[in-house]
Chain A
Amino acid sequence: MSPPIAVFLTEEGTVHALDDTCTHQDASLAAGWVEDCRVECPLHESTFSLTTGEVDQPPAKRGVRAHQVTVRDGEVLVELSTAAPKLPPGVEVA
C-alpha cells in the first residue's frame, strides 16, 4: 500500500511527485506553496525538495519520499519509490 502521492507542476514547467503527507503532522503538501523547486507545508514552516524530498527546517525532521516522474506525450508517469514511506506519528496508510 502507498500513501497518497502529490504531483507538482512548477512555474518553470517541470513535474515532480512526492508523498503527499507531511512527516510532521497529517497535512497535505498538495495544498502547500511551491517555489524554487520546493514545497512548503501549508501548516508549519518546513519545506521539502521537489526532486529529493529532503526537508530544510523544523518542525518536520524527516524528508518525504520522492518518486520518479516521466512526462510522455503530455501524460505524467510516476514510478513509485521502493523506500519505506515516512509518515507522521499516529498516521497509517489506509
Chain B
Amino acid sequence: MSLAEEGHLLIIGAGLAGYHTARQVRAQGHAGPITILGAEAHPAYDRPALSKAFLCGTTDLCDLYLDDPSDPLDARWVRSDAVTALSTEPLGVQTASGTFYLGDAVVIATGAEARRLGGHAIRSVEDAAALRAAPLAGARVAVIGGGFLALETAATCTTRGAGSVTVIAGEDLPGLRRLGRPVARALHSLHEQHGVRFTGAARALGVTRAPGDPQADQVVTLSDGRGIPADVVISAIGASPATEWLSRSALALDPGTQAVLADDTGFTGIPGVWTAGDCALWSAQRTGLRPVGHWQETVDQAQALAAALLGGSPSPMQEPYLWSDQHHVTIQAAGMLALADEVQVLAGSIEGNDLLVSYLRGGTEIGILGMNRLREVVRWRKSRRIRPAVLAA
C-alpha cells in the first residue's frame, strides 16, 4: 500500500535518514505535505565530521547542516519535541509536548544513541562540543573502543596535542576480527607512527576515580587487572537503536539490539509504517549481508524506501560502502567484507599507509579496502554498480 499523491508523510527523527527520506520522496515526485519531527534543538546535521574536523575545531555546526538554506527542502521541520509513542489506529505519533500528529505514512528514523561506559562519548553535536572544549593539550587521553569512531577520535586527539593517547580496542590489533590481519596491522602501524598506544586484547570494564579525591585521575580498569590512568576518557563502544519509545508498540524489534525490523524496502509489516537508518534492521542486515551504522547505508536505504513508499520502480541497493579519516589517511571499504573467508594484499605495504586489500569468499572477490587508494576504490565500486534498468529487465 503506497502513499497517495496528496498523503501526509510523517518522519520521526531529524537526522541523516530523516532528511534523505524527505529529499528522495520529493525528488521522486511526492506532492503532499511532509513533516519531520526531531528531538534536537538544531536544524538536522551530518555526524561524520563530529569525530574529525568539528572535533579539531576547523568546522562549525552550521557547516554540518544537511538542508541547504539556499535551496531548502519543501518540508515542515519541528524541533525540540521528542516523539514518545506510535499509534497505529489512527496512524500517527504522540510527542513529549503533548501534540498528536496524524500521518498517512510514518517513517521511523530515530537513529541510535551512544553506549556509554564512562567519560565522554560522541554521538550528538553536544557530545562533540563538550570534548572539543575539554583541555586536550598535554592531557593523557584514554579511548575505549576499537572501531573506526574510536580510531578517528584517537587520531583527532593527537592533532589536538594530547600528551598521550591510549586506545583500549579489546583485541590484539584494532579491527582484527572485522577487517582481517593485514588491515589491522596497517591501522596499528598508522596510529603508532603518530604516537598512539594500544593496550591489546584486554577489555575495558569500567571507569573509576580514586575514592575520596574528586581531583584525582580517572582510571580505566581492564579485564586483565591493569588500570589505565587518564585525564580524559572517551567511550566509543558502539551505539544502540533509539527505539525505547517503541517498546510498547505493535512493531517487531530485534531481540538483541532493539532495532526496528523491516524488509529490504524498509517496510515494517504494519500498514503505513516504515523505517531506515541506524534505528532500523533491514532483512539483509539481519542476515549479516549488509552493514549497520554507516552513512552510505543510510542514504541508500532512504532512496530505496522512498521508491517503495511511493510505489515506484524499485531502487537497487549498491555494494555497501564506508569511509574513515585517520591521521590524514583516507580509509575506504566497499563490498560484503563481513562474509569474507580470505584476505589478499593487492598492493602497498603495512608501514606505507597505502594498503590495498581484496576480500574473497570461496575464491571470489566480494570486497575491497584501500588506504589512500581513492582511485582504486571508486573504480571497484563503479565496476560493480547495479543500474535500475538492469533490475527492471
Contact = CB atoms under 8 A, between A and B. Distances in A.
Interface of A: 25, 27-28, 31-33, 40, 42-45, 58-59, 61, 89-90
21 contacts: A25-B49, A25-B53, A27-B374, A31-B374, A31-B375, A31-B378, A33-B379, A42-B375, A42-B378, A43-B330, A43-B374, A45-B296, A45-B299, A58-B23, A61-B71, A89-B53, A89-B63, A90-B56, A90-B58, A90-B59, A90-B63
Contact of B378 (A25, A33, A59, A61): A33
B15 to A, nearest CB: 14
Contacts of B295: 44
A32 B53 contact: no
Contacts of A31: 374-375, 378
Nearest to B372: A31
B294 to A, nearest CB: 12
Contacts of B379: 33
Interface string B363-386: 000000000001101110010000
A33 B382 contact: yes
Contacts of A44: 295-296
B66 A58 contact: yes
A40 B379 CA distance: 11
Nearest to B379: A33
Contacts of B58: 89-90
Contacts of B46: 59
A-B pairs with lowest CB-CB distance, top 3: A90-B58, A89-B63, A31-B374
A61 B70 contact: yes
Nearest to B382: A33
Contacts of A43: 323, 330, 332, 374
Interface string B44-88: 001001000100101110010010101100000000000000000
Nearest to B60: A89
A87 to B, nearest CB: 12
Contacts of A32: 374, 378
Interface of B: 20, 23, 46, 49, 53, 56, 58-60, 63, 66, 68, 70-71, 295-296, 299, 323, 330, 332, 374-375, 377-379, 382
Contacts of B374: 27-28, 31-32, 42-43
Nearest to A91: B58
Contacts of B71: 61
Nearest to A35: B382
A59 B53 CA distance: 15
A81 B177 CA distance: 50
B377 A42 contact: yes
Contact of A58 (B49, B68, B296): B68
A43 B334 CA distance: 12
Contacts of B332: 43
Given A43-B323, A43-B332, A45-B296, 9 more contacts: A32-B374, A32-B378, A33-B382, A40-B378, A42-B375, A43-B330, A44-B296, A58-B23, A89-B59
B30 to A, nearest CB: 17
Contacts of B68: 58, 61
A27 B223 CA distance: 41
A90 B64 CA distance: 12
B57 to A, nearest CB: 9
Contacts of A27: 330, 374
A59 B20 CA distance: 10
A90 B53 contact: yes
A61 B296 CA distance: 17
A5 B74 CA distance: 35
